[in-house]
Amino acid sequence: MQIKGYPVRLPLDILLVFTANPEDYTARGKIITPLKDRIGSEIRTHYPVELSQGLEITQQEAWTARDPGGDSRVPKYIAEVVEHLAFTAREDKRVDKRSGVSQRLPISVLENAVSNAERRALANHDDTVAPRILDIYSALPAMTGKLELEYEGELKGGDAVAREIIRIAVGKVFDRYFEGVNVNSIVQWFDLGGSLELGETVSAADMVRQLNSIQGLMEKTRALGLTENESDAARASAGEFILEGLYAHRRISRSEQYQFGAEEKKAPARERREERDEKDRERERRRRQFN
């Protein structure tokens, strides 16, 4: 400080703290320019370093306990997939690193996923609410609104990038629970011509009946911590997660209408090379005809 032009330094033990309302920040958690100008400095915060830290923050901030009289449960693997979205997006080269990916992304996605699960439970008169991977896909607007894309990402489109991030996140969590688990019987069921369409509005009981038709599928839900006394909503979510995990690793296929089927087998390298050579010869014959 200065007194009549003379600089005076006082040993004051004072801490100045500046706060702001949420609307003073952007959707990505960046401090707006006028606020920075008034403070004269910018304090940079770090993202959660470990997944457990992010899970704790999201669990604290997300509004998931809606109805005190209802039975709403977010399976652990669903919460982990949602949290992996932020970690995966931060590493994706198509996402702008300068804008970053705030912790608000998993918070918003989880809240939207639970809301979609509640809507389905109310429509089907289900007693228990348990989000599924399909509910995370329904929360795409909560992702795309919080992702700033690089040029490559803009060319592909926000929805396509977000879907790919969800697929990668599902694959990571699937590996954590099913590493070393033999799921060949499930894949074989689809390879033999089996197919299954799991719509977003299908009730828990109907989905469990459909999943039970797949050989060995529901037995694998034990790896997710499920017991025989679980509700249909929890079992449906777990069975669908296994299918989504196999789809994430391209062991089976899934259409945009959420119909699961066998993964298209790629032709051997020799066959692909011979097919390309045949196409080249055909183009050469056509060119000579015109000449």
pTM of the full structure:
0.77
pLDDT, tens digit (0-9, with 9 covering 90-100), for 149-190:
998 999 999 999 999 999 999 999 999 999 999 999 999 999
User: How far is C-alpha 10 from the geometric centre of its chain's CA atoms?
Assistant: 53
Instruction: Check residues 72 and 199 and name the one with the higher pLDDT.
Output: 199
Tokens matching residue 124: 């089907």
Average pLDDT over residues 276-282: 71
Mean pLDDT (the chain) is 86
pLDDT, tens digit (0-9, with 9 covering 90-100), for 187-209:
999 999 999 999 889 999 999 99
pLDDT at 29: 56
pLDDT, tens digit (0-9, with 9 covering 90-100), for 16-58:
776 665 555 655 556 666 666 666 555 566 788 899 999 999 9
Burial of 202 (0-12, 13-18, 19+ CB in 10 A): buried
CA distance 247 to 196: 13
239 backbone dihedrals φ, ψ, rounded to 5°: -65, -40
3-state secondary structure of 56: helix
Listed by start position, the domains of the chain span: 2-39, 51-262
CA distance 107 to 84: 12
pLDDT at 26: 59
pLDDT at 21: 57
